Amino acid sequence: MLNQVILVGRIIEEPIVKEFGNNNQMAVVLVEVERLVNNADKEKTYDVFQIILWKNMMQNYLELCEAGKIIGVKGRLQANNFITKEKNKFYSCDIVAEKISLLNPN
């Protein structure tokens, strides 16, 4: 089986760092990617993906992840689900980064 994602997009806001018990950390980076759509208006549409950087990835790449930068991401999909206090069930799909490349060094 194969679970691999490769995308190129623009970081839309500064990363959010979250801390968990046992000194674990992760960062969330939001990346927008142009959706290829054939419509008569030629209007651009974007998808926003949540990229997760776990502890080691975060330490190595967080300083590269500034809003406005264009990055390449190689990683895997991770499906999550949770139940709220109101007993509503939610699903999400994140991209867990394995490698990040800065594509516009300026």
- 106 is a domain residue: no
Residues near 18 by beta carbon (within 8 Å), at least 6 away in sequence: 25, 26, 27, 28
In the numeric block, which tokens belong to residue 88?
Answer: 């509503």
Query: Mean pLDDT throughout 63-80?
Result: 93
Query: Mean pLDDT throughout 75-101?
Result: 93
pTM of this structure: 0.84
Instruction: Report yes or no: 31 and 45 within 8 Å, Cβ to Cβ.
Output: no
Cα 57 from Cα 29, distance rounded (Å): 12
pLDDT tens, residue by residue, 11-35: 999 999 999 888 889 999 999 999 8
Domain count, the chain: 1
Give the domain range for residue 89.
5-101
Task: Write the CATH number for 53.
Answer: 2.40.50.140
